[in-house]
Structure 1
Amino acid sequence: MGHLDHATFGWLTPVLSYVMACLGAALGLRCTVRALGSTGRSRRNWLLTAASALGTGIWTMHFVAMLGFSVSGTDIRYDVPLTVLSLLVAVVVVSAGVFAVGYSRDRGRALLLGGLTTGLGVASMHYLGMAAVRLHGTVRYDPMLVALSVLIAVVAATAALWAALNIRSPVAVTLASLVMGAAVSSMHYTGMFAVSVHVTPSGSHLPGATAMQFIFPLAVGLGSYLFLTSAFVALSPTAGEREASASAQRPVAGAAR
């Protein structure tokens, strides 16, 4: 059995991955709230931004955490197409969940459907990402812990979407995103603790890219996207703020004449 280390760099990767999960959740919730307050094309664009933020936030959390993953007795490589596919799955499935909530007439049913879809999307992204791992040996999973990780993902996603539907104040959104980040992180590490590796030492070349060659640059790119989009969303006025500034300018225009 190879010894599995989930935090090769100490607390750096768990903390950084948690921050990425919270950032993605905060941006996703904020955009969903904005979407529900708008209509037409504007609503669709806000929902797309929310889905891409949640999807990339969850994916970045997973792979930043994976930078700290090592197994004694073998190198680790990542299958590039499968890793990219896991990112696409995350964004597409989360989009389905977010749009179900954004456009549904029946909030309760939308919440259950959206939570289930998004949660299963998060879980499938995680295990697709794990399927991309190449090492010398065989990987096994504890079925009970895998089932628990999927359950955590579904509950976390449902809670996050409920928060998006019911929460408006910035403080509450911040708290909800911290909870969502913790839930996504706990789902990830539950899934990781389900893993055991039977190493068969070999001198043969492993296919795929190392984490630093591929995962790290991609995570940095997606992280930058999240930070820049967060800044843009934080600075763009809400519908209420636009109305307030328009009504504030009317008397000034009248006085100027």
Structure 2
Amino acid sequence: MNATVSEFHYGMITPIAAYLMATLGAALGLRCTTRSLRNARGERGIAWLTLGAVSIGCGIWTMHFIAMIGFSVQGALVGYDTLMTLLSLLVAIAVVAVGVFLVGFRGAGPLNLGVAGTFTGLGVAAMHYLGMAALQTGGTVHYDLTTVLLSVVIAVVAATAALWAAVSISAVWATLGASLVMGGAVSLMHYTGMSAVTVSLVSGNSAPSADTGQLSLLLIMLAGPMTVLLLAGVIVMFDPEVVLGQGDWNRKQARRSVRETAGV
């Protein structure tokens, strides 16, 4: 029999928290990528690109599994395979890194952006469905193919737009605006993919739909990427050029030089 499936077991708490994490990861990633463009081929540039890729990848993965905390199947325990879950995290970081380094080194020309965006978008979709493959319900998970394809298209479009923004937008407020849009696009991809899900359970299974132990395990796994995002945020906040933008930082330095020259 098909069980009743819900994405909102805890109401709007998990969708909002998931969106905020996706937005945070995008904002940090965009600022880091912007910072790298001055010397993308140097060691510092590579370090900033790496931090940007890790931030975006962790933001996307954290968004997915925070949203999954709100996923419930009536009449079944919901659990996750640990290794498959961690594999989905590595996939998220790796595919974002490929896209970020492609546009960071080769620019946002139409062909390069299309290749990078398509690869990254397909990778983000793969992360999502790997995360779903880690799902354990005691039943069989089915997908509506049309809705799955729609979620993949959304992932590709979102990834392409994100990579374009990473190398084309440098103003702080524009970056924040782009991050809000990116967070929404990634969340839309997730919930579109989840709308494709139905779960068939063995008749007579009357297990509760919440498992405190599994939820605790998921929260523990979320702690790692969330800590990475926190550290990335600290690094970004302590780099004035990332926070202010290159133009504002240069103007600030110029004003300081004038004051020092004038003996103020």
Give the structure-1-normalised TM-score: 0.91
Listed as ranges, the matches of 1:178-217 within 5 Å are 178-200=180-202, 201-202=204-205, 210-217=213-220
Counterpart residue identity of residue 245, structure 1: Q
Q: CA deviation at 1:12?
A: 0.5
Quick one: distance in 2 between partners of 1:99 and 1:209? 40
Deviation at 1:221, TM superposition (A): 3.2
Q: Following the alignment from structure 1 to structure 2, what is the Cα–Cα distance between the partners of residues 154 and 199?
A: 33
- 2:256 equivalent in structure 1: 248
Cα 1:209–1:50 change in 2 (3 A) is farther
Alignment of 1:19-30 (within 5 A): 19-30=20-31
1:218 aligns with 2:221: yes
* Partner of residue 114 from structure 1, selected from 113, 116, 131: 116
Cα 1:210–1:150 change in 2 (3 A) is farther
Work out whether 1:80 is the aligned partner of 2:88.
Answer: no
Local SS of the residue matching 1:7: coil
Q: Which runs of 5+ in 1 are unaligned?
A: none
Q: Which residue type is aligned with residue 115 of structure 1? A: G
CA drift of 1:251 comes to 6.6
Equivalent-residue separation in structure 2 for 1:253 and 1:150 (angstroms): 57
- Provide the secondary structure at the position in 2 that maps to 1:140: strand
Q: Where do 5+ consecutive residues of structure 2 fail to align?
A: none
Cα deviation, residue 243, structure 1? 8.2
User: Which of 161, 178, 190 is 2:163 aligned to?
Assistant: 161
Give the Cα separation in 2 of the matches to 1:210 and 1:34: 42
Q: Give the C-alpha shift of residue 38 in structure 1.
A: 2.4
User: Residues 104, 59 of structure 1: CA spacing in aligned structure 2 closer, same or farther, 3 A cutoff?
Assistant: same
Q: Are the aligned partners of 1:60 and 1:223 in contact in 2 as well (CA < 8 Å)?
A: yes
1:230 aligns with 2:238: no
CA–CA separation in structure 2 for the residues paired with 1:170 and 1:54: 17
Q: Does the 8 Å contact 2:158/2:185 carry over to 1?
A: yes
Map Cα deviations across residues 156-187 of structure 1 (whole Å, 9 max, x no partner).
Answer: 01111111122111111111111100000010
C-alpha distance in 2, partners of 1:44/1:28? 13
* Residue 15, structure 1, aligned to residue 19, structure 2: no
- Deviation readout 1:42-73 (Å, 9 max, x if unpaired): 11011100100010000000000000001011
Does structure 1 conserve the Cα–Cα contact (< 8 Å) formed by 2:108 and 2:164?
no
Distance in 2 between residues matched to 1:226 and 1:61, nearest whole Å = 12
User: In the alignment, what sits opposite 1:69?
Assistant: 71
Change (3 A) 1:224 1:90: same
TM superposition outliers: structure 1 runs of 4+ over 4 Å: 201-204, 253-256
| SS in structure 2 of the partner of residue 2 of structure 1 | coil
% identical equivalent positions: 47
Distance of 1:56 and 1:11 partners within structure 2 = 22
CA-CA distance at 1:244 after TM superposition: 4.9
**Residue 231 of structure 1: CA displacement?**
3.1
Q: Count the aligned residue pairs.
A: 253
